Structure 1
Amino acid sequence: MLFQTYGDRRNPAVLFFHAMGVTGASSEPIARFLQDRYFCILPTSTVYCEGQKYVSKLDEIRQVEDFLHRQGVERLAMVVASSIGADLAMAFLTQTKLPVEHAFFDGGQFAQIGKGTRRIMTPFLYFAIKSLYWSKGGTLKKILWCDDDSIK
């Protein structure tokens, strides 16, 4: 796992969990805006870190907690999670002993759409994910309709 931080460690801490297909840097514009008032922590999952191997969700949480401890973070003003990052954030929130004042989850709309639309979308998503696997990520920008720099 890689960690980027913005702001002063003495300020209230905000922890960001990124979406699938992007890195922690995807939250950088928000962190730069908040850095004068908050200590922003942007982890990048081991899945996206060259030379690292994803072990488990619990291992990801352990790495985040170890980092927070090393930084002297004793409480979190907010946990922010996007898309699939909400899954890891929820696991973090249920496991951590750190007090967390607020949580903001952005995403998860797929579960809220109608049954008919899900039936149409599910095969598309399946083939989109398979395409990413077969092309070793080469089709990502075609699926997301943006270039690599926009994804970051």
Structure 2
Amino acid sequence: MRMDTYGSKEKPCVLLLHTMFTTGALFEALIPALVQDYFLVIPTLDGYDPDGKTEYPGADEELERIEAYLKGEQIRELAAAAGSSLGAMLAWRLWQRRRIPIHRLVLDSPPFGWSAVQAAENTESFWQLVQAVQAAPETPSVFNAHYGEFGAGMRRSCRNLTRDTICRSCETCFGPQLPQHISGGGTKIILVYGGEDPNYQYQKENLENRPDISLVVKPGYGHCGFLMQSPLEFARLLKEE
């Protein structure tokens, strides 16, 4: 796992966790909006560094590594932990472990509610996509069609992806359920979706009118689209109100 950091360690810490098929570079546009007020820790998860040979080991082992890094840096609490899709589910599990206090938990496009069957199905379809990109890395793909300027970086992140990384990533993403009531324990929990995101449409009835979470829905955006297309507005969700 590669750890990139920005800003002064004397500032409150924000942890940012990227989605599948990207790296920590997903958050580059957020850095100028946050670095004056926060110390930013931005991992590139195991398995996703195009210049590395690691594999994503699963949520528990990856979180052990993240927690060990924070402990080694003497970071005892997080002003915010935020993640997108895969990163959102890791941030959720990090909060559930309750080993490090998190003041704001911002989950972008979290795929709550899908079954383990969906994890298996997505493993196969995602792996076929990765193989196609690896066979023709310079050819525009579905990444370009759906994610615009991020497409080239997403294709590059596929360089060393393995089927095991895809399988374990899908196991992290698909299967966890959002409880009917969440006891925040002092954490403000914010769920962020694009209005066109299938993850939002699937959970829409379970998400609305809940006093235990703050739901932010951005009409016109797809999966992870709000973060990618409006990073400065997204950055405001990470700041204390």
Normalising to structure 2: TM-score of the pair?
A: 0.51
In structure 2, how many angstroms separate the alpha carbons of the residues matched to 1:65 and 1:137? 36
Please state how far the C-alpha of 1:149 moved relative to its aligned partner: 4.3
Tell whether 2:147 aligns with 1:148: no
| CA shift for structure 1 position 138 | 4.3
**Is residue 65–residue 96 contact of structure 1 (8 Å, CA) maintained in 2?**
no
Is 1:130 paired with 2:128? yes
Q: 1:47 Cα deviation (Å)?
A: 1.1
1:34 deviates by 0.7
Kept in 1, the 8 Å contact 2:89–2:107? The answer is: no
Kindly indicate whether the alpha-carbon contact (under 8 Å) linking 2:47 and 2:53 is maintained by their aligned counterparts in 1. no
CA contact (8 A) 1:46 1:52 kept: yes
What residue in structure 2 maps to residue 21 of structure 1?
A: 21
Q: Do the aligned partners of 2:17 and 2:90 also contact (CA within 8 Å) in 1?
A: yes
**Alpha-carbon contact 2:2-2:43 (below 8 Å) kept:** yes
Q: Which amino acid aligns with 2:54?
A: Q
Superimposed CA distance per residue, residues 61-80 of structure 1 (whole angstroms, 9 cap, x where no aligned partner): 01111111111111100011
Task: Note the C-alpha offset of 1:96.
Answer: 3.9
Number of aligned residues: 142
- 1:34-85 CA-to-partner distances (Å, cap 9, x unmatched) read 1111001101110113122332211110111111111111110001111121
Tell me the distance in 2 between the aligned counterparts of 1:110 and 1:7: 33
Given candidates 84, 87, 99, the residue that maps to 1:85 is 87
2:96 partner letter: T
Cα displacement (A) at 1:32? 2.8
Q: Which segment is superposed worse, 61-70 or 49-58?
A: 49-58
Q: Which moved more, 1:19-28 or 1:53-62?
A: 53-62
Evaluate the alpha carbon distance shift between residue 138 and residue 75 of structure 1 in structure 2; reply closer, same or farther with a 3 A threshold. farther
- The percent identity for this pair of structures is 24
Gaps of 5+ in 2: 115-120, 158-241
Taking the aligned partners of 1:137 and 1:66, their CA distance within structure 2 comes to: 36
1:17 and 1:86 in contact (8 A); partners too:
yes
Classify the secondary structure of the residue corresponding to 1:105.
strand
Report the alpha carbon displacement of residue 126 of structure 1 after superposing the two structures with TM: 5.9
Q: Which residue does 2:12 correspond to in 1?
A: 12
CA-atom RMSD, angstroms?
Answer: 2.9
Query: Match of 2:107?
Result: 105
- Aligned partner of 1:46 in structure 2 is 46
